[in-house]
A = this chain, B = another copy of it.
Amino acid sequence: MATLGDLGVGAGINILSALIFFLVFAFLRLQPLNDRVYFPKWYFKGLRESPIPSGAFVRKFVNLDFRSYLRFLDWMPAALRMPEPELIDHAGLDSAVYLRIYLIGLKIFVPIAFLAWAVLVPVNYTNITLDLEKIKNVTSSDIDKLSISNIPDKSPRLFSHIVMAYVFTVWTCYVLLKEYEIVANMRLHFLATEERRPDQYTVLVRNVPPDSDESTSELVEHFFLVNHPDHYLTHQVVYNANSLAKLVKKKKKMLNWLVYYQNKLSRSKTATRPLRKTGFLGLWGKKVDAIEHYKTEIEKLTDQIAKEKERVAHDPKSIMPAAFVSFKTQWGAAVCAQTQQSRNPTIWLTEWAPEPRDVYWPNMAVPYVQLTVKRLIMGVAFFFLTFFFMIPIAIVQSFASLEGIEKAAPFLKPIVEAKFIKSVIAGFLPGIALKLFLIFLPTILMIMAKFEGYPSKSSLERRAASRYYLFSLVNVFLGSIITGTAFEQLESFIHQSATDIPKTIGVAIPMKATFFITYIMVDGWAGIAAEILMLKPLIIYHLKNSFLVKTDKDREEAMDPGSIGFNTGEPRIQLYVLLGLVYATVTPTLLPFIIIFFGLAYVVFRHQIINVYKQEYESAAAFWPDVHGRIITALIISQLLLFGLLSTKKAAQSTPFLIALPVLTLWFHRYCKGRFEPAFKTFPLQEAMMKDTLEQARDPNLNLKGYLQSAYIHPVFKECGDEEDNESLEKSETESVIVATKRQSRRNTPAPSRMTGGSSPSMRDVELAQP
Contacts and interface: CB of A to CB of B under 8 A. Distances in A.
Interface in A664-712: 667, 670-671, 674-679, 682-687, 689-690, 692-693, 696-697
Contacts of A674: 345-346, 368, 372
A409 interface: no
A70 to B, nearest CB: 50
Contact of A675 (B226, B345, B679, B751): B345
B498 A667 contact: no
B682 A227 contact: no
A687 B227 CA distance: 9
A380 B663 contact: yes
Interface string A497-527: 1111000000000000000000000000000
B339 A338 contact: yes
A346 B184 CA distance: 13
A689 B346 CA distance: 19
A751 B693 contact: yes
A135 interface: no
A461 to B, nearest CB: 23
Please give the count of copies of this chain that the complex contains. Answer: 2
B227 A340 contact: no
Given A339-B334, A345-B679, A500-B497, A752 B372 contact: no
A700 B220 CA distance: 29
Interface stretch (A123-131, A443-451, A726-734, A753-761): A753-761
A696 B227 contact: no
Given A678-B345, A751-B693, A753-B329, A228 B498 contact: no
A670 B227 CA distance: 28
Nearest to A230: B230
A676 B345 contact: yes
Contacts of A686: 223, 226-227, 341-343, 348, 750
A266 interface: no
Nearest to A189: B343
Considering residues A335, A495, A686, A696, which has the most beta carbons from chain B within 10 angstroms of its beta carbon? Answer: A686
Given A368-B674, A372-B670, A674-B368, A689 B497 contact: no
A692 B753 contact: yes
A376 interface: yes
A331 interface: yes
A383 to B, nearest CB: 9
A335 to B, nearest CB: 5
A437 interface: no
A188 interface: yes
Nearest to A663: B380
A496 interface: yes
Contacts of A751: 693
A368 B673 CA distance: 12
Among A340, A493, A497, A690, chain B packs the most CB atoms within 10 A around the CB of A340
Nearest to A369: B671
A756 B685 contact: no
A494 interface: yes
B498 A340 contact: no
A511 B340 CA distance: 50
Nearest to A188: B343
Contacts of A328: 755
Contacts of A230: 230, 756
Given A380-B663, A674-B346, A674-B368, A339 B753 contact: no
A407 B755 CA distance: 80
Contacts of A495: 497-500
A740 B754 CA distance: 31
Nearest to A383: B663
A134 to B, nearest CB: 34
Interface in A313-351: 328-329, 331, 334-335, 338-343, 345-346, 348
Contacts of A341: 684-686
A185 to B, nearest CB: 8
Contacts of A682: 339-340
A394 to B, nearest CB: 21
A343 to B, nearest CB: 5
Contacts of A689: 226-227, 750, 752-753
A427 to B, nearest CB: 38
Contacts of A499: 494-495
A499 B755 CA distance: 63
A668 to B, nearest CB: 9
Contacts of A663: 376, 380
Interface in A339-366: 339-343, 345-346, 348
Given A372-B671, A670-B372, A675-B346, A340 B684 contact: yes
Contacts of A348: 686
A663 B373 CA distance: 12
Contacts of A188: 343
Contacts of A372: 667, 670-671, 674
A581 to B, nearest CB: 22
Contacts of A496: 497-498
B343 A684 contact: yes
A341 B679 CA distance: 11
Contacts of A676: 345
Ranked 8 nearest A-B pairs via Cβ: A345-B678, A338-B339, A340-B682, A690-B750, A693-B753, A376-B667, A495-B497, A340-B684
Interface of A: 188, 223, 226-228, 230, 328-329, 331, 334-335, 338-343, 345-346, 348, 368-369, 372, 376, 380, 493-500, 663, 667, 670-671, 674-679, 682-687, 689-690, 692-693, 696-697, 750-756
Given A495-B500, A496-B497, 6 more contacts: A334-B339, A335-B339, A339-B684, A341-B684, A342-B686, A345-B675
